[in-house]
Structure 1
Amino acid sequence: MCFPDDALRDSGTSRARVAKVWNIVYPELLIHGHMHAPGGGETEDDLRVASLGQDWQKGDLGFLDMQTLRIETPSLRRIREAAGR
């Protein structure tokens, strides 16, 4: 996937800001949006990262349990079924 130079530059600036805050705050969970791919994982020092996808992409929204800091990214179908639609 090819992005315009200005988008890549802005993305780099944004990543640097997030990294700076990450290193100061050291949160248990970091949730952020991503330009093209949802995902997640855990760092070597047990910090968790959840990356939400772009609009209309599977994994573009999540529900965070504030007690456990677990995030669920259900499909739109599952959300509609749970709402009885």
Structure 2
Amino acid sequence: ISRQLWWGHQIPAWYGPDGMVFVEETPEAAEAAALSHYGKPEPLTRDPDVLDTWFSSGLWPFSTLGWPDETPEVARYYPGDVLVT
């Protein structure tokens, strides 16, 4: 699901010094989660990869229809619970 490119949607994962993974929406949230885990500030390294183009392009219809809210448009055009490709 990832590529080693310099453009694209960054993977929201940061790694602690011991390899612990923190998946958060923002760097600040990752730092807060790491502080809670370690009990002291520790350096974090963001995952350098980006999401694959097909993964990113698959988000477009959902985001234009109001997802993650359960809008009538999402229910009409994407009525399923599971996407199988």
User: Shorter-normalised TM-score: what interval?
Assistant: under 0.3
TM-score by length of 1: 0.22
Larger radius of gyration: 2
Higher relative contact order (CA 8 A, sep 6+): 2
